[in-house]
């Protein structure tokens, strides 16, 4: 009997370990909330962390060392003293660069429209089939985006199925009253992020992301000069993003994650290569021009 019990425990632990695709660190911040007992917010933090880390998001088996690093920082702007919260959510994810101790940022987004209801001890329910509550839908949406971004960086268009899952969450949320899910709410929200990532107009940017990571960054530790030249040869692809859609969410999110890294890479290049990179980046991402212009003085 004891042997059977131990075997059952081991099987449960094995299943739980296999379900953990994300290594999500979660923080709930309440600088604007004046209450002495903040146990509810601590419980909320734990519930979100358990939800993100306890579910199976990826189709493949992901080992403990392969789990995707990500951060969720929920800043509570308003709370009615009961179960209703109005928040902003900062979502970041990264992945390791081959044969180095360096990690590269894949996603760095601030979602300003995260409102939801939560009571202490509540189970965060979620289904891919329908909208159940806003908290689980928002968290699941970003979990799929994170997994998709990670897969896209290791395999060309490898994140497609996960971006479709995120799009499905958007579709299910169209009947909900919460902001962030509809096209007319904003041009920089969850609706448009999913739309962009599933729109073939941006396939060249997704393809660039794969080549940048696998044929550029992942070679940096072994041969930085060759890796930098490979990235330089790829840069003109960034100028091919549809110019009519400048300011769209996915390109903005891409450059938010990569602008400083690109400057760091080309700060070590020769003068000519540095200037060519700067000019291309200024054309592709004029909103961050002041950062790229620092290459003149590096």
Model pLDDT for residues 135-152, shown as the tens digit of each residue: 999 999 999 999 999 999
Distance separating alpha carbons of residues 138 and 116, to the nearest angstrom? 9
Q: Where are the domains of the chain?
A: 18-146, 208-298
Task: Copy the structure tokens of residue 151.
Answer: 């897969």
What is the pLDDT of the chain when averaged over all its residues? 91
Is pLDDT of 9 > 70? no
Distance separating alpha carbons of residues 209 and 129, to the nearest angstrom? 30
Is pLDDT of 196 > 70? yes
Per-residue confidence band for 244, with pLDDT thresholds at 50, 70 and 90: low
∠ CA 250-256-259, nearest 5°, is 120
219 bridge partner residues: none
3-state secondary structure of 148: helix
At 10 the pLDDT is: 40
- How many helices and strands (H and E) does the chain possess? 10, 4
Per-residue confidence band for 36, with pLDDT thresholds at 50, 70 and 90: confident
Quick one: DSSP state of residue 216?
Answer: T
User: Is 219 within 8 Å of 211 (Cβ atoms)?
Assistant: no
Task: Copy the structure tokens of residue 178.
Answer: 């919460």
Is pLDDT of 246 > 90? no
Taking alpha carbons only, the member of 261, 153, 166 closest to residue 205 is 153
User: Is 107 within 8 Å of 249 (Cβ atoms)?
Assistant: no
Place of tokens 């509809």: 182
CA 10 and chain centroid, separation: 32
Is pLDDT of 8 > 70? no
Q: Each residue of 65-112: pLDDT tens digit?
A: 899 999 999 999 999 999 999 999 999 999 999 999 999 999 999 999
- Please indicate, yes or no, whether the overall pTM of this predicted structure exceeds 0.95: no
């Amino acid at each position: 009997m004891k042997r059977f019990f131990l075997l059952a425990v081991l099987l449960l632990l094995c299943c739980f370990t296999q379900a953990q695709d994300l290594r999500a660190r979660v923080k709930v911040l309440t600088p604007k909330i004046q209450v002495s007992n903040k146990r509810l917010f601590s419980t909320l933090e734990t519930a979100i962390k358990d939800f993100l880390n306890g579910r199976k998001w990826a189709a493949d088996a992901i080992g403990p060392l392969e789990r995707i690093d990500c951060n969720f920082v929920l800043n509570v702007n308003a709370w009615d003293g009961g179960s209703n919260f109005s928040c902003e959510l900062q979502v970041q994810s990264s992945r390791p660069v081959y044969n180095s101790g360096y990690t590269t940022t894949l996603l760095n987004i601030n979602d300003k429209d995260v409102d939801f209801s939560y009571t202490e001890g509540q189970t965060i329910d979620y289904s891919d089939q329908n909208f159940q509550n806003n908290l689980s839908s928002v968290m699941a949406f970003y979990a799929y985006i994170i997994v998709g971004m990670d897969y896209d960086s290791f395999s060309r268009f490898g994140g497609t199925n996960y971006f479709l899952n995120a799009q499905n969450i958007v579709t299910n949320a169209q009947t909900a009253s919460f902001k962030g899910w509809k096209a007319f709410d904003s041009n920089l929200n969850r609706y448009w992020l999913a739309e962009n990532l599933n729109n073939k107009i941006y396939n060249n940017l997704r393809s660039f992301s794969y080549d940048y990571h696998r044929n550029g960054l992942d070679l940096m530790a072994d041969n930085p000069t060759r890796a930098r030249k490979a990235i330089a040869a790829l840069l003109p692809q960034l100028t091919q993003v549809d110019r009519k859609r400048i300011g769209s969410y996915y390109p903005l999110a891409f450059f938010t994650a990569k602008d400083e890294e690109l400057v760091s890479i080309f700060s070590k290049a020769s003068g000519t290569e540095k200037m060519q990179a700067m000019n291309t980046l200024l054309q592709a991402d004029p909103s961050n021009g002041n950062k790229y212009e620092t290459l003149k003085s590096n």
